[in-house]
Amino acid sequence: MTQISVLIVGIILIVLITWWFFGKHQVETKEAKMEQSKQIIDIKVDGGYSPEQVIVKKGIPTELRFTKLDNSSCLDHVVFPDFGINQALPQDQTTSIMLNTEESGEFEWSCGMNMFHGKLIVK
Q: Please list, in sequence order, all residues whose beta carbon lies within 8 angstroms of the beta carbon of residue 86, skipping any fewer than 6 positions away.
A: 77, 78, 79, 80, 112
| Structural domain includes residue 4 | no
Rounded distance between C-alpha atoms, residue 115 and residue 112, angstroms: 8
Range of the domain at 55: 29-122
Tell me the C-alpha distance between 63 and 53, whole Å: 14
Task: CATH number of the domain at 63, please.
Answer: 2.60.40.420
Please write the tens of the pLDDT for every residue from 60-107. Answer: 999 999 999 999 898 999 999 999 999 999 999 999 999 989 999 999
Determine, yes or no, domain membership for 111: yes
Say how far apart CA 35 and CA 44 lie, in whole Å: 19
Q: Is residue 19 part of a domain?
A: no
Question: Tens digits of per-residue pLDDT, 17-62?
Answer: 988 877 777 778 899 888 888 999 999 999 999 999 999 999 999 9
pTM of the model: 0.79
Q: Domains in the chain: how many in total?
A: 1
